[in-house]
A and B are shown apart, each in its own frame.
Chain A
Amino acid sequence: MSRMLLVLALATVALSACGPFGEELHTLNAKVVSIQVLDGADESTFQQDAYTVGPASRLLLRSENLMDKTSSKVAKSARIRLYFPEVKDGSQWKNALKVCPLTRQWMMLATWTHAHPFGPPGRWARDGGDYSEAGCMKPATFVPRVEKPSTNPDVAQEVTPASVEFDALQYMNDFVVGRSNDQNFGLIVVSTETIRVQGDKGSFRPTFDVDYGTWTWNP
């Protein structure tokens, strides 16, 4: 009996210390599409510090190889986080902002009217992007801006911008897990008000944080 307990204890320690899954942070690449910008290759539409999202512009987000990393895993929780560089608290937008799963393939040459520019099949069925309204996620948690004195003498303050989290577990189960990368359509940020969102160039870029399976990482 004692021998069996010893084996079980060792196995628990070994498995707990060596869990291959656990939490993964997927960085999201961003592409803004707007009514004003007709050229999909316009450099102001990607790799920017911040983007404007509003009635005439939307933000496409995608982790390019997400499906390769998730296809055989079970998600325990999933969160999408966006940062706001210019406000102290984003809760003012809780009714205006949503993140929705796209239902159409697109590329970095996408525009307000086209998912890709190579012929009629590239046109969005609906201007601004094709997404599933039923799969849209509303803000779950708002975290206000945090400013604290910096330990670096060259920097006055360390600032963590205000942010919002979206519960993306349903999105993971319905649109990600079990699919191939060909169906990795990504997400779209839609807002009825004009909002500045932190871009994919810099420290506080949009993220997709997923906690997988029953294994947890115990360093």
Chain B
Amino acid sequence: MRGNYSLRWISVFGLALLCSQALAVTRVGNGDDGADLEGAIPLTEGRIFDARDEAVKLVRNLNTAGVPGLGKLLPELLYSPMYLAKKDVKARLKSDQADAHHDAAENVYARTFAESHASTRFFPAATKLDKDQLVALHIHEALHRALPESIREDESKVAQITVAITTPDSTHDQVAAATASVLPHEDRVRLSAASAVAAPESDGALVAPGPDRLSKPSQLGYRLRVFGDSPNATFKSNANQVHSLYSTFHPFGGRNSAFGMAVETGLVKLGSKTVMGPLFLGGDLRLWTIRDFDFGLRGGTTIDATAANEIKNGLLGRDIGRLSLFARKTSGLIYVDNNVSVIFPGKTQQTLGVVTYDYEFKTAFAVDLHLGASLLGGRLRVGAFGEYLLSKGFTVGGGAFPTYDTGAYRIVSAGPEAAFELDDLVLTVAGRWIVSTSEGISYDTMADLFGSGAGSGGLTGAVSVKF
């Protein structure tokens, strides 16, 4: 998490840097007797484990993979096994002597071997560190394994790069400059020639970006949609608000993939009445990652079986099936999210007096693009989106009224969006307004309350908890 690091911890690393300059070059190596491994347990949860995700997020946002010398930092952070020793050990090794490695009582925080894929051993003293300090510790230990052999055991140089990465408001260029200043010339040339690539190596496996999303991909939240009137529309559903509860659970999949299930239901305000709304059931599957793009499928169906009669008896009563293919990327300060959706045909009926009308909806397609800035280490996203929806329309007929075909129509909309994460709390707000539409058409014609909404669009706000 950028921008919120303890000044004390930065000063510790800074002091470590100064101290290590005064000391002879300290070499970290396989000099311990392995006693600290006795009784160690694999770390799979807890604060130290979660801090690794924050460290990964920080490193990704700085795009360290593009910095000569730091190409292996991200995979070392992601894949290094972590253990928690049962007992503290005193700082006896030369590698422990830097202040970054131990507390005031000289209890060591962590150790690692300066070689690729080595594990990181944490000690109970590390559990007293706050989140920012743990993030810096993760990065420091990973640097010992990731940096070129010529400098990875040099405590002062490792500390210098750690400070550059963890300093608040640090930038990619600052990290690159700090690394270049400590990297020997011959290593700088060799690594630059190899050309840093965006995707870190990882035994050929594709790494799913956005570990912050995958480490806590599940959500539980409340959403409010307020729809605007569409004065030029010839058909109006009278839906003006939807209050809903939603959840997205991802119990399946690994750290690099996730398959989740989504549920949403709530109350709909129709005119002055509030009635029970439909039920949405869906799921999403993150398929794969390539060149820092997340690809996945999202789909679901809105079922009106649970809805009140005022919803069921009319266009809003249609069951809607939707399938979307999404591609998203966060690169530095920019996020981009593309979705291509198909809304499947469906039917509904409406009885008015003694006449029953049959509605048959045809296929619709939607393409939307989200673009914005990812700030504060990805905690704040501010941007805008646009959507082009093309529907083949629907037919309606009943009684003496012959089947009428509305024909195809389009709806183009746009609006701002923002999302803010405070630890596990997520706040989102978005606006949607129709920019262009076929004559007499509004989102009421689509009758997709949980999707595109109603009327001319409107505002959506949500608050949720990630877990």
Contacts and interface: CB of A to CB of B under 8 A. Distances in A.
A182 to B, nearest CB: 4
Contact of A182 (B235, B355, B402): B402
Interface string B386-419: 0000000000101111101011010000000000
Contacts of B439: 119-120
Interface string A34-77: 00000101000011000000000000001011110000000000
Which residue of A46, A108, A184 has the most chain B CB atoms within 10 A of its CB atom?
A108
A186 B352 CA distance: 17
A118 B438 CA distance: 12
Contacts of A186: 400
Given A116-B401, A118-B406, A108 B352 contact: yes
Closest 5 CB pairs of A and B: A108-B352, A117-B235, A46-B353, A64-B399, A184-B400
Interface of A: 29, 31, 39, 41, 46-47, 62, 64-67, 105-109, 114, 116-120, 122-123, 181-182, 184, 186, 200
A116 B404 contact: yes
A105 B406 contact: no
Contacts of B402: 105, 181-182
Nearest to B401: A107
A189 B253 CA distance: 67
A62 B400 contact: yes
A29 B353 contact: yes
B234 A181 contact: no
Contact of B238 (A39, A67, A106): A39
Given A62-B400, A105-B402, A186-B400, A120 B352 contact: no
Contact of A123 (B234, B353, B406, B441): B234
A116 B445 CA distance: 13
B188 interface: no
Nearest to A46: B353
A108 B355 contact: yes
A45 to B, nearest CB: 9
Given A122-B234, A181-B400, A109 B440 contact: no
Interface of B: 234-236, 238, 314, 350, 352-355, 357, 396, 398-402, 404, 406-407, 409, 438-441, 445
A119 B406 contact: yes
A105 B354 CA distance: 17
A118 B234 contact: yes
Contact of B235 (A62, A105, A118, A200): A118
A65 B441 contact: no
A130 B329 CA distance: 57
Contact of B314 (A29, A41, A62, A67): A41
Contact of B440 (A47, A105, A107, A120): A120
21 contacts: A29-B353, A29-B354, A29-B355, A39-B236, A41-B314, A41-B352, A46-B353, A47-B353, A66-B400, A105-B401, A105-B402, A106-B401, A107-B357, A108-B353, A108-B357, A116-B401, A118-B235, A118-B445, A119-B441, A120-B439, A122-B234
Contacts of A106: 401
Contacts of A117: 234-236
A217 B234 CA distance: 49
Contact of A47 (B238, B354, B400, B406): B354
B308 to A, nearest CB: 14
Nearest to B356: A108
Contact of B400 (A65, A120, A123): A65
Nearest to B355: A108
Nearest to A65: B400
A31 B398 contact: no
Contacts of A46: 352-353
A39 to B, nearest CB: 7
Contact of B234 (A29, A120, A182): A120
A111 B441 CA distance: 17
Contacts of A122: 234
A47 B352 CA distance: 9
A122 B400 CA distance: 15
B441 A107 contact: no
